[in-house]
Amino acid sequence: MNPNLSRLHPYPFEKLARLKADVVPPEHLAAISLGIGEPKHPSPEFVKQVIADNLDKLANYPTTGGLPELRQAIADWATRRFGLNPGSLKADGNVVPVNGTREGIFSFVQAAVDNTRPATVVSPNPFYQIYEGAALLAGATPRYLPCDAGNGFIPDFEAVPESVWKECQILFLCSPGNPSGAVIPRDTLKKVIALADRHDFIIASDECYSELYPDEANPPEGLLQTCAALGRDDYARCVVFHSLSKRSNLPGLRSGFVAGDARILKEYLRYRTYHGCAMPIHNQLASIAAWQDEDHVKENRAAYRAKFNAVVPILQQAMKVDFPDAGFYLWPETPMSDETFARDLSAQQNVHVLPGRYLSRTIDGYNPGENRVRMALVAPLEECVEAAERIVRFLQR
């Protein structure tokens, strides 16, 4: 077996299950889960109808590169959303459909890392664990950049030693951030692009939460958007990952895309022809319909906005918590150990959250996730409000 398998860490939810193995929640309180970031809003009916109308496509092999119509729908959406120069993001060359960002991120790292020379994959800390796992299995060394309140939950890229950038092959960004919701501003993205040019590494920006934001007039900046502002219509050294899971409440569709530098994506597509990961045709057709519609996305944002507006003031009665820039997570401080908080909250109130340390690594004795928990406001509004009220009661006791 691949010896790097032994380097993989347990997933956060495995750790959470062990933490609560002997917990018996009160039977009179219904369970409310704020732990897993799985969207619970209804999937769009028109998308489901497209799938139902095209089940005969199960008789056809899909191609690795996807339908031309899907790639064009993605290119058109990204061009509109991020104000790209028309025609710069080409359906043939700059776009590769993937089966969700998780699959896309993992396979991209396997294709992009050159492990015949020293290879470092740099990521924020806390982070989405697939960044680390993909790096380890590709034979690279993960390097973690702390994200805490002191730096606005955005890595301090200027504090990274030159020796790290020298061996960096991929830098992962996550904007809006998981779990903080912090959005990386354009000026910072410009600096990161300059670093990539200087040291010749790939910037891989995970933007799967980019369509969940509070202000309709102020959507989060994207990496390709910054490239366009710089006149970099070749998107050199830059790729972005997007998904329909959060944007359209379609986590089970497993549909997303990678877009950016055509030189990089040409080799990535070659890898995928061996990877065996073509998206089923009926899913592709459903994805086209989803990328071409914005009304359901606006309704989705309104639903999350209502939950944040209801929940945050309640929680602020008993704990330090702020509205995030974007996304659907809260990242509050806990007045006790995050593990103790999560375990006792489950035991006393049957409300389930994720300890922040499970999303982070301890480096030089410091874990930026300690004494925080991640709360995903994915449940219906009434459940989120009930959970917030129970958390306040728990803390007041």
How far is residue 255's CA from residue 248's CA, in Å, rounded to a whole number?
Answer: 10
Q: Measure the CA–CA gap between 255 and 181, rounded to whole angstroms.
A: 22
pLDDT of residue 397: 87
DSSP secondary structure, 235-286, as one string: -TTEEEEEEHHHHTT-GGG--EEEEE-HHHHHHHHHHHHHHT-PPPHHHHHH
Residue 291: per-residue pLDDT: 98
Closest CA to 125 of 9, 41, 289, 26: 9
Pair of tokens at residue 70: 């899907």
The upper half-sphere exposure of residue 272, i.e. CA atoms within 13 Å in the direction of its Cβ, equals 27
> Which domains does the chain show, CATH number per domain?
3-42+296-396 (3.90.1150.10), 59-293 (3.40.640.10)
Q: What is the pLDDT of residues 84-107, one digit of tens each?
A: 999 999 999 999 999 999 999 999
pLDDT at 244: 98
Q: Position 97: which residue type?
A: P
CB-based contacts of 217: which residues, under 8 Å, 6+ apart? none
pLDDT tens track for 118-148:
999 999 999 999 999 999 999 999 999 999 9
Nearest to 185 by CA among 160, 212, 231, 154: 154
How many other CB atoms sit within 10 Å of the CB of residue 58?
A: 9
- Rounded CA separation 82/85 (Å): 9
Give the closest residue to 263 by CA, choosing from 234, 229, 283: 234
Q: What is the pLDDT of residue 185?
A: 98
Interatomic CA distance for residues 249 and 1, integer angstroms: 37
Rounded to whole angstroms, the Cα distance separating 301 from 377 reads: 12
Query: Tens-digit pLDDT profile for the chain (397 aa)?
Result: 999 999 999 999 999 999 999 999 999 999 999 999 999 999 999 999 999 999 999 999 999 999 999 999 999 999 999 999 999 999 999 999 999 999 999 999 999 999 999 999 999 999 999 999 999 999 999 999 999 999 999 999 999 999 999 999 999 999 999 999 999 999 999 999 999 999 999 999 999 999 999 999 999 999 999 999 999 999 999 999 999 999 999 999 999 999 999 999 999 999 999 998 999 999 999 999 999 999 999 999 999 999 999 999 999 999 999 999 999 999 999 999 999 999 999 999 999 999 999 999 999 999 999 999 999 999 999 999 999 999 999 999 8
